[in-house]
Chain A
Amino acid sequence: MRPRHDIRILVRRHRLVWGMTQQELADRVGVTRQTILSIEKGKYTPSVALALRLAEVFDVSVETLFQLNKGDNDV
């Protein structure tokens, strides 16, 4: 369940910019708030389908939300 630590997750940053709560984002992509929380904390790596839905909500590419880490993790 714990993701590899070489992935930088920027979901929270985009969610805050869009002014969404975790629950609102969860409702938009069809998961529970716990799932969004776990993704943002780096405890869970979403499936490709969920990553694509998240990118669609924020109108960005998947690579913008999930980046291979070359430094400290953003979470």
Chain B
Amino acid sequence: MSEPEAPKRWRPTRTNLVAGGTVIAGFLLIEVNWWFFLLVAAGTFGPGILRELGWLRDKDEFQRQAAHRAGYHAFLTVGLVAFLLVAFFRTGGTMEHPHRLVTFFLALLWFTWFFSSLLAYWGVQKTAARILIAFGCVWLVFTIISNLGPEWTGWAALLLHPLLAAPFFVLAWLSTRWPRVAGILLLTVSVLFFLLVFMRVFARTGGPGLINSSVTFIFFVGPLLASGVALLCTGKKSECPEDGEEVPMTRK
């Protein structure tokens, strides 16, 4: 019986490289002129537009369906929030610098599309576990670096602060074993953060602070909230074990 074949690692395609390079170039050239921000748009949306026009055929049917589904999810999410804001403004609500809402909508659009894509490719539990591991690693690195900085706070702090990353790893493990339990915990944490942090900022700063906090919320709490909702909806215990190659048997 032959050894199982290791799954091929993801490699960026030519389209990925060109699009990614365009996005990076756009962000760098913003310092020169903000109109270069359109390069970011070109890199982000260009490949999708070319695919819809039939000029780029680099994805198979599964990938195309995943992209369409992610776009539909982004449409639903952003549309719902847009209606909420229209109702808010039409009923007399005001906000300083409402043009900053564009940043909020772009963040929400991108995050919804990206998370939906991850769910399509990895499944719910693997997506949630990897997001939580990523959060834990970032927190770990952040706490270690900050404790090793110029303001040395002692060995106790260096050893104890990284332990705060432990809940992320525990939740990552839980999400693969008991997804609903992990989902409930993630939702609870997200709601608490919303009430204790986000609402406080809103009460204190009003419009500008609200929009900036909303974008921060999307990128820092959004993954946890979305993972929690997805885990609750998965409705079953552990999915199939690791996605790996099957060991092929010889044909009889």
Using a CB–CB cutoff of 8 Å, the interface residues on chain A facing chain B are 1, 12, 15-23, 30-35, 37-38, 41, 43-44, 46-47, 50, 75
How far in angstroms is the closest Cβ of chain A from B60? 4
State the Cβ distance, B142 to closest chain A Cβ, in Å: 32
What's the tally of chain B residues with a CB closer than 8 Å to chain A? 23
B93 within 8 A of A: no
Task: Kindly identify, within residues 229 to 243 of chain B, every residue whose CB is under 8 Å from any CB belonging to chain A.
Answer: 240, 243
- Option from A1, A20, A47 in Cβ contact (under 8 Å) with B120: A1
- What's the Cα separation between A31 and B252 when bound, in Å? 26
**Chain B residues within 8 Å of A47, by CB:** 61
In the complex, B248 has a CB within 8 A of chain A: yes
B251 at the interface (CB under 8 A from A): yes
Q: How far is the CA of A39 from the CA of B123 in the complex (A)?
A: 13
Given A17-B251, A18-B251, A21-B248, decide whether A41 and B240 contact each other with a Cβ distance below 8 A. Answer: yes
**CB of B75 closer than 8 Å to a CB of A:** no
CB distance B120 to A22 under 8 Å?
no
Question: Which of B8, B62, B247 lies in contact with A31, CB distance below 8 A?
Answer: B62
Question: In the docked arrangement, what's the CA distance between A43 and B123, Å?
Answer: 9
Are B249 and A19 in contact (CB-based, < 8 A)?
A: yes
- Cβ contact within 8 Å between B245 and A21: yes
Report Cα–Cα, A33/B243, bound state, in Å: 11
The 8 Å CB contact of A22, one of B62, B65, B245, is: B245
B66 touching A1, Cβ below 8 Å: yes
Chain B binding site: helix, strand, loop or mixed by DSSP? loop
- Whether the Cβ atoms of B62 and A32 lie closer than 8 Å is yes
Q: In the complex the two chains form, is B246's CB within 8 Å of A15's CB? A: yes
Q: List 29 A-B contacts (CB under 8 A).
A: A1-B65, A1-B66, A1-B120, A12-B246, A15-B246, A16-B249, A17-B249, A17-B252, A19-B248, A19-B250, A19-B251, A20-B248, A21-B5, A21-B245, A21-B246, A23-B5, A23-B8, A23-B245, A33-B8, A34-B62, A34-B63, A34-B121, A35-B60, A35-B62, A37-B243, A38-B62, A41-B240, A41-B243, A46-B61
* Inter-subunit contact A35/B5 (CB<8 Å): no
Interface centre among B121, B248, B250, B252, by most A CB within 10 Å?
A: B248
Of chain B, the residue at the smallest CB distance from A38 is B62
Query: Do A35 and B63 contact each other (CB < 8 Å), given the known contacts A12-B246, A15-B248, A21-B245?
Result: yes
Interface set, chain B 61-76, CB cutoff 8 A to A = 61-63, 65-66, 69
A-chain residues with CB within 8 Å of residue B61 when the two chains form the complex: 31, 35, 46-47, 50
B7 in contact (CB, < 8 A)? yes
CA distance in complex: A32, B59 (Å) = 9
